[in-house]
Amino acid sequence: MMFCGLYRESICLNHLHFTATIGSIHYQQSFLFMRQSQLFTKTRKEAPIDEVAKNAQLLIRAGYISKEMAGVYNYLPLGLRVVERVKQIVREEMNVVGGQELLMSSMQRKELWESTGRWDDEIVDVWFKSSLKAGGEVGLGWSHEEPIGEMMKNYITSYKDLPISVYQFQTKLRNELRAKSGIMRGREFIMKDMYSFCVDEESHLAYYESTKPAYMRVFERLGIGSDTYVTFAAGGAFTKFSHEFQTICETGEDVTYINKEKGIAINEEVLNDETLESLGVTREELIATKTAEVGNIFNFGQQKAEDLGLLMKDKNGENVPVWMGSYGIGVTRLVGVLVEKFADEKGIVWPESVAPFRMHLVGLNLDDTEIRDYADGVYAMLGAAGIDVLYDDRVEARPGEKFADSDLLGMPYRVVVSRKTKDEGTFEVVTRRTGETRHLTEGELTADFGTSASA
RNA sequence: CGGGGUGUAGCAUAAUGGUAGUGUACGCGGUUUGGGACCGUGUGGCCCGGGUUCGAUUCCCGGCUCCCCGACCA
């Protein structure tokens, strides 16, 4: 019974390679589309009382995530799709700047962190630590600066090996004293962290600068480009400032002083006379704005490599420290920011670029076999057109419930099929963000939303 | 880490020193069907430990949990 729907897809869309048949078993290779009746998650009218943050309330109500414990969330099928789509956008942009993806371990060596003086809980207060039954302690990765620098010793011996840029999507574990703001500040979260290794200051700074537009492209693709600012923030060991990417967000944790015309943004933590003077702005020109940090890049200079002993032979045969930078984007936090920024009173509103499905096909009057066959046909037609679609094929749910669920789930477009639309021969297409309703023919629908048009 | 709260069914809640009622969700029967419909019926619950008491979900102590404010946030 469970696999009825799957079997049906196999039959009608076999020719599109959405399924492969080996012997008599049907393997579905891609979940481009899905029947809502098969989704194990359900929507809720009420959010758990212990969630105050809008992002967590809506994501839990809509069945995207569930809470495991304070600051720790599970990503359910719909939520995972959003995370994966955000990751893919980040991945593509990191690849543009030459990043090579890898995956470091979560368990880290105590001795390595001791060598840079950062194993001590007094120095780093977010450590999760454990011990091996065989003896010895391990840390659970809250950052990968040390391990990745250490590992790169195996691959960097000469200036000829550089530049190198590597990145990963990692589950970071941070023992925060207080988790808050739903998925925006948890103890376990997914982060993209990239590290660059360059031969001299010039190439290092050039690479550092190239990541800013790459980051901005990510945010533009997520629909928050115009609200995101490269922001001067507290620096690291080497430079006066680091650069944060701050997005205007009412529920953000930071306050950023912004001058839109001059394109200058300053985190309040470094707002002082010296900063203002060096950047050529006055306090009066800046507007204090609540923001959420969605990215942060650090220039380590040669300091980090020196601490780690990550040396290369230069042209004169001398051993010199490598120039390093690190570049972070909080992937799961970004999902939270998108919910916070775009949700309305009815629920989530996803940007098209990361919505779990582009289209929500809502079938009404499905207790009528004739209408159900018609709606199933529309579902197959949309799939054939290359549109990723979630199909509310629930027979027992009433229209009001389906519309409310659809609003809550937040797919960019809703297409209603019912006895009425069947009789009229058109499709009712509602844009979630604006509420605009259009009536399209099948040809118009596939032309507007099909694979060729969505590129 | 300092301060303040919280804990009753999957979720949201009420009352009570004599072991608990409602909404929602879920099961069954029926009427409905374009914005979370209705009738009937059923399943399901007091965070953990100790104390006071004839008796504790209730009062007291401790623990844990979760939330909020602050601090912190590489």
Structure token pair of residue A8: 């049906």
Distance in angstroms: CA A176, C1' B71:
12
Q: Report the share of chain A in percent with pLDDT over 70.
A: 92
Whether residue A9 is predicted with pLDDT greater than 60 in this model: the reply is no
Residue keyed to tokens 């399209």: A440
- Burial (CB count within 10 angstroms: exposed 0-12, middle 13-18, buried 19+), residue A296: buried
For residues A22 and A451, what is the distance between their CA atoms, to the nearest angstrom?
27
Rounded to an integer, what distance in angstroms lies between the CA atom of residue A328 and that of residue A203? 20
pLDDT bracket for residue A453 (50, 70, 90)? very low
CA of A181 to C1' of B74 (A): 21
Of residues A386 and A27, which shows the higher confidence score? A386
Cite the beta strand spans of A70-204 per DSSP E.
Answer: 72-75, 100-101, 107-109, 128-131, 137-140, 164-173, 188-198
Who's near A168: CB < 8 A, 6+ residues apart? Answer: A101, A102, A103, A104, A144, A192, A193, A194
User: Of A315 and A235, which is predicted with more confidence?
Assistant: A315
> d(Cα A113, Cα A166) in Å, to the nearest integer?
20
A170 or A384, higher pLDDT: A170
Q: How far is CA A122 from CA A117, A125, A209, A307, in A?
A: 10, 6, 33, 19
Burial of A98 (0-12, 13-18, 19+ CB in 10 A): middle
The Cα angle at residue A80 between residues A99 and A68, in degrees rounded to 5 = 115
Residue with tokens 């809250």: A142
At residue A238 the predicted structure's pLDDT band, cuts being 50, 70 and 90, is confident
In whole numbers, what is the pLDDT of chain A averaged over residues?
91
- Residue A11 confidence (pLDDT): 38
Closest nucleotide over all strands to A367 (CA to C1'): B33
Per-residue pLDDT at A15 exceeds 80: no
Number of Cβ within 10 Å of residue A33's Cβ equals 23
- The HSE-up count of residue A10 (CA atoms within 13 Å, CB side) is 15
* Cβ partners under 8 Å of residue A6, min gap 6: A26, A28, A38
Does the structure show a pLDDT above 80 at A47? yes
Query: Residue closest to B7, CA→C1'?
Result: A50
CB half-sphere exposure, A126, CA atoms < 13 A:
13
Checking if the pLDDT of A425 tops 90, the result is yes
What is the secondary structure of A183-203 as a DSSP string? GGB-SEEEEEEEEEEESSHHH
Query: What band does A191 get if pLDDT is binned at 50, 70 and 90?
Result: very high
pLDDT computed for residue A187 by the predictor: 96
Query: Which protein residue has its CA closest to C1' of B6?
Result: A50
A397 CA to B27 C1' distance (Å)? 16
Q: Quick one: which residue's CA is nearest to B66's C1'?
A: A50
Average pLDDT over residues A360-369: 96
Distance in Å from B55's C1' to A69's CA comes to 36
Q: Tell me the pLDDT tens digit for each residue of A118-146.
A: 999 999 999 999 999 999 999 999 999 99
Strand ranges (E), A223-263 = 228-234, 241-248, 254-259
> Are A390 and A36 spatial neighbours (Cβ–Cβ below 8 Å)?
yes
In angstroms, how far is B57 C1' from A49 CA?
Answer: 20
- Kindly report, residue by residue over A317-360, the tens digit of the pLDDT: 999 999 999 999 999 999 999 999 999 999 999 999 999 999 99
Q: What pTM, to 2 d.p., does this model score?
A: 0.93
- Residue A23's pLDDT is 63
Point out the nucleotide closest to A395 (alpha carbon to C1′).
B33
CA of A177 to C1' of B16 (A): 38
Nucleotide nearest to A408 (CA to C1'): B36
Please name which of A214, A210, A290 lies closest in space to residue A246, comparing C-alpha atoms. A290
Its ipTM equals 0.95
Examine the pLDDT at A31 and tell me if it is beyond 70: no
Mean pLDDT along residues A38-56: 93
- Say how far A253 CA is from B15 C1', in Å: 40
Distances, alpha carbon A188 to alpha carbons A84, A101, A246, A298, A330, in Å: 17, 21, 21, 22, 11
Q: Is the pLDDT of residue A22 over 70?
A: no
Per-residue model confidence (pLDDT) at position A235: 77
- Whether A179 and A126 have beta carbons less than 8 Å apart is answered as no
Res A446 pLDDT > 50: yes
Q: What are phi and psi of A315, to 5 degrees?
A: -65, -25
Which bases of strand B have any atom within 7 Å of the beta carbon of a protein residue?
A: 1-2, 10-13, 23-26, 32-37, 65-74
Which residue type is seen at A1?
M
Look at A158-172, A224-238, A315-329 and tell me which has the smallest mean pLDDT: A224-238
Contact of A357 with A388, CB cutoff 8 Å: yes
Tokens matching residue A328 = 């972070």
Query: For residue range A279-316, what is the model confidence (pLDDT) as tens digits?
Result: 999 999 999 999 999 999 999 999 999 999 999 999 99
